[in-house]
Amino acid sequence: MTVIDLGERRDVPPPVDPGPARTVRRWVPALVALLCSAVLTAAAPRAAQPPGAVIPARPDADVVVAGDLLLVVDRTGPDAASGPGPGPRVAAHQLPSGRPLWQLPLTGPVGPFPVVRVGDVVVLQKPEEPAGPQVVGLAAADGAVRWRVDGQLYGATPAGNLLVWGVAGTRPGVPVLRSVDAATGAVRRTLRLSPEALHWSARDGRVTLLTVLDGGRLELRDPDSGDVRRAAALPATAGPPEVLGVTDDLVLVSEGPGVLSAYDTAALRRRWSAPRGPSDRPYAFGCGVVICVEDGGRGLRLLDPATGSARWRADDWPLLTPVGDRLLAAGYPRGGVAEHVLLDAATGRPVRELGRWQLGDLAPWEDRAVLHRRQRDGRVLVGRLDERGDGIRVLAALHGVVGACGAYGSLVVCRREGGAYGVWELPG
């Protein structure tokens, strides 16, 4: 599932004490200059602008890619200060040609909302209606409305069913999670669960696991059938437990004040416990081959997923993105552009300085190995990071780009002058 939004920013205070990554700091000035010079000298002259398309949009419009469609969401109504025009709407364009296909009017204030593509159906969460939220299934070819279901869209399963929160029709006020057929909108089954008790895990845009924590009972459920795969009773603690995150093979649970525990998904047995920091709302998540923990201390702690022991701290690198067995780390921005370094995920040691490239800032982007940077002559270079640590291979040099970019498979989408979007198909 994708969510139409303008991105997320997490502010992390600058480091106070030097940490294990101090060697990275010593290398940054010299290596950044050297490698940036080498990359730009070798790659920039050869880079060209690939064929592309221009898709009209208003300056405040958002976009999201849904299969072979680019959806442009115009939040502006006819009385907006930016001038006359149609009311809020979503317009679909064919990719990569940019050919307009259909439009759907939207009502009420338009903010971020989820979009899912299942086969030849585009499913979206319409903004708040007078009668409550509504999920709509549209024909991808012409935008015809196939069905409507009351509730909130949570995503799609590997089998192509949709997960929708709503209330039971015969018992108003009782929340249920429904499995909905994407082709017809028919409700296949319902599962009565509190939204606070549920955590869902996704891979490749599909919800793959439901983790339910109800009181002291932890359950792993199949997202299509709702059946319990495994269950375990958690130990009694001074405070209520909370699921913090789920990786491919671990459920990370806050077990009362100051304790982070990991349960393996294969048997739902506790693998390890580790102390956590002072935060009332800690955050733990998978960072490729390690576990990242943001718990109120400085920076991030990187834990061994097998034992829970601390491998290293990311005091200097508050933003980490897994790329293979590496971590793409972003340092504190200088002039709005962060310094990026490729780190060995297991040790935190620098593999290669990348310089002042940017990750996709047109959210939601799908391919985080694609970066971009603006040249003094106004061009925007687009390159792909080699996860083996061989640096960045420049793929294209774009003209007329004035704003955010995002990568979606073989496509890169960037804001152009006047609010329009440019779409280019990257070579290779």
Q: What are the percentages of helix, strand and coil residues in the chain, rounded to 5?
A: 5, 50, 45
Burial class (CB in 10 A: 0-12, 13-18, 19+), 421: buried
Identify whether the C-beta of residue 341 lies closer than 8 Å to the C-beta of residue 285. Answer: no
In the sheet with 270-275, reading across from the earlier edge strand, the strands are 242-246, 250-254, 259-264, 270-275
The pLDDT, as a whole number, for residue 110 is 64
Each residue of 350-407: pLDDT tens digit?
Answer: 988 888 888 776 655 566 778 888 898 989 999 888 766 667 889 999 999 998 888 8
Instruction: Identify the sign of the CA torsion 86, 88, 92, 93.
Output: positive
DSSP reduced 3-state for 338: coil
* pLDDT at position 216: 86
**What are the residue boundaries of the structural domains of the chain, listed by start?**
2-425
* Predicted pLDDT at 248: 86
Per-residue pLDDT, 132: 75
Determine the Cα–Cα distance for residues 105 and 107; give it in Å rounded to an integer: 7
How far apart are alpha carbons 302 and 345 in whole angstroms? 9
Q: 3-state SS of 289-326? A: CEEEEECCCCCEEEECCCCCCEEEEECCCCEEEEECCE
- Within 13 Å and on the Cβ side, how many CA atoms surround 210? 27
Rounded to whole angstroms, how far apart are CA atoms 183 and 177?
A: 18
In the block, tokens 């994708």 appear at 2
Segments of the chain with pLDDT less than 70: 1-46, 76-86, 108-112, 127-131, 168-173, 278, 280-281, 297, 318, 332-338, 361-367, 387-390
Strand partners, 421: 55, 415
Chain centre distance of CA 422: 22
Give counts: helices (H), strands (E), the chain: 1, 37
Q: Please, what CATH class does the domain formed by 2-425 belong to?
A: mainly beta
Contacts of 383 (CB under 8 A, 6+ apart): 39, 43, 357, 370, 371, 372, 373, 392, 393, 394, 395
CA distances 54 to 137, 225, 278, 415, Å, are: 27, 43, 49, 10
Antiparallel, parallel or unpaired: β 270-275 and 283-287: unpaired
- Whether the CB-CB separation of 199 and 246 falls below 8 Å is answered with yes
pLDDT at residue 28, rounded to an integer = 37
**In contact, 192 and 168? CB cutoff 8 Å:** yes
Label the pairing between strands 175-181 and 242-246: unpaired
Q: Would strands 217-221 and 132-139 be described as parallel, antiparallel, or unpaired? A: unpaired
Strand partners of residue 287:
290
